[in-house]
Amino acid sequence: MNERADPILQHKANRSSKIQGTVTANHHKEYRPRNIRKRKRKKGADVAAAMLIPLFIIAIWQYAAGEGYISALFLPTPLSIAEQFFRLIATGELFHHLGISMYRAFIGFLAGSFLGLALGTFTGFSRIASYLMDPSIQVLRLVPHLAIAPLIILWFGFGEVSKVVIITSGAFFPLYIHTYTGIRNVDNKLYEVGEVLEFSLKRKLMRLILPAALPSILLGIRLSLAVSWIGLVVAELIGSQSGVGFLINQAKQNSDTEVIFVGIIIFAVVGKLIDTMMRILEKKLLHYRDSYQG
């Protein structure tokens, strides 16, 4: 009796597990699209909430300036700024100056970030290099952009080199500091693992140290991009014949407040877009982290 009952019971158990597995799979299939839709709705709501304050400020600004409560020379209406914006697009001036500014910022950022990453890795990994080089770099870091810009222009003139050097000096320090700090904050057990596995210096660095320091390095890159953009403004406002900073400077001399606001908005919007792209890249590279989202 027991020998016959066992196959029957086993068959029923198998059938039950198959049904349960099918139900679970169907539940996951239903859950995943529902979860994605919920995330998209939440993201859309977040974007809409973020737009509330800027739209409210623009509405109040348009009303106050349009009714004459604020001088047009001091604060022109958003509509008149938009007119100047489309005029600069139609004439091609905006894209010409923006392209030159983007090129300068890109070259300066590449040079500064390469030096910052290389020196930050070197001083972070080497105790002797840290004692020899880090104090001097930290002193130079505290010198403001505006203080060294005249000296750089004196050395390199008003050409493109001086502008790129100003941007490079700004991009260097954030990435250097975060690379150095990220490597120094790596768990000491990883160094011990490298020793046990007899990794070479290069393999230890590429397989263990830099991946562990990646969150700090990515933050340094993000800050370097922001400081590069700020350095670009400094470089172009001090002495330039082209670029968005030159456009603002020229508008200042002509008392053209609308064009000044167009330049400021361009700097703000492009800077925000660059920062957003960096945040997306950071999220993809650090997808394994389960960080607090609020």
Looking at residue 60, its pLDDT comes to 86
Looking at residue 35, its pLDDT comes to 58
**H/E run at residue 1:** none
Residue 48 CA: distances (Å) to CA of 1, 42, 209, 274: 70, 10, 40, 20
pTM: 0.75
Q: Give the residue ranges of DSSP H helices in the chain.
A: 2-66, 78-91, 93-125, 127-141, 145-156, 160-184, 188-196, 201-204, 210-238, 244-253, 257-285
From first to last of its 294 residues, the chain has per-residue pLDDT tens of 444 445 554 544 455 554 455 544 444 444 455 555 656 566 666 667 777 888 888 888 888 877 777 777 788 888 888 999 999 999 988 899 999 999 999 999 999 999 999 999 899 888 898 899 989 988 888 888 778 888 888 888 888 888 899 899 889 999 999 999 998 888 878 777 777 777 777 788 788 888 888 889 999 999 999 889 888 888 888 777 888 888 888 888 888 888 999 999 999 999 889 888 888 888 888 776 665 455
Looking at residue 108, its pLDDT comes to 93
Q: How many CB atoms lie within 10 A of CB 64?
A: 13
Nearest to 133 by CA among 143, 145, 122: 122
Give the span between the Cα atoms of 180 and 289, in whole angstroms: 21
Are 149 and 239 within 8 A, CB to CB? no
Tokens 């070259």 correspond to: 107
